[in-house]
């Protein structure tokens, strides 16, 4: 039982690093990429959070970004291996187009996560552990503290610039 918990925590860390890195590289903290993301960012700033971290959090809520892509890819790999993960990437791509999202962070996240999750399944991890881990990773960004998470994301963004 403890080994499963350890793998879920490791999967959460890998997933968190994957989706945060992709979102930062795609400059999602720079501005709200889709309708609603700017409003969420400004609302978080008014609560004492960081505007750019709030933009990233708004993008997570309003459009399939790298976090959603990573989670859906893990689900796809769980169901059908690499073809399932790539099918999830296609769905994320379509979701981005429906949301008029100009970027490809979600699609990139889903494609990369497909191969990362599949690779970890070859060394003893289960795709279901990545599903649980990704949910935990998203919870740390969206569910624990908007103010704290936005500041952390803005700090990570600052390191990039």
Render pLDDT for 39-65 as a digit per residue (tens, 0 to 9): 888 999 999 999 888 888 887 777 767
Cα separation of 9 and 83, whole Å? 26
Which pLDDT score, from 0 to 100, does residue 29 have?
66
Mean pLDDT for all residues in the chain: 87
- Which one-letter DSSP state was computed for residue 63? S
**Number of structural domains found in the chain:** 1
Cα separation of 31 and 133, whole Å? 27
The model carries a pTM of 0.85
CA atoms within 13 A on the CB side of 18: 32
Give the structural domain span for 59: 2-160
The CA R_g of the chain, rounded to the nearest whole Å, is: 15
Kindly report, residue by residue over 65-87, the tens digit of the pLDDT. 778 888 899 999 999 999 999 99
Which pLDDT score, from 0 to 100, does residue 33 have?
65
Cα separation of 21 and 31, whole Å? 16
Kindly report, residue by residue over 119-156, the tens digit of the pLDDT. 999 999 999 999 999 999 888 887 788 888 888 888 88
Which pLDDT score, from 0 to 100, does residue 73 have?
93
Q: How far is CA 31 from CA 18, 59, 109, 116, 118, in A?
A: 20, 9, 19, 28, 32
């Amino acid at each position: 039982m403890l080994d499963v918990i350890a793998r879920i925590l490791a999967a959460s860390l890998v997933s968190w690093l994957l989706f945060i890195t992709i979102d930062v590289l795609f400059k999602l903290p720079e501005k709200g990429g889709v309708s609603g993301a700017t409003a969420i960012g400004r609302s978080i700033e008014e609560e004492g959070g960081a505007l750019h971290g709030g933009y990233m959090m708004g993008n997570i809520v309003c459009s399939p970004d790298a976090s959603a892509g990573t989670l859906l890819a893990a689900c796809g790999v769980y169901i059908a291996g690499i073809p399932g993960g790539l099918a999830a990437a296609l769905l994320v791509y379509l979701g981005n187009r429906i949301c008029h999202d100009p970027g490809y962070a979600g699609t990139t996240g889903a494609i990369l996560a497909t191969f990362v999750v599949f690779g970890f399944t070859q060394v003893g991890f289960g795709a279901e552990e990545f599903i649980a881990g990704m949910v935990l990773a998203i919870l740390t960004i969206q569910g624990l503290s908007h103010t704290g998470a936005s500041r952390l994301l803005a700090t990570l963004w600052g390191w990039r610039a």
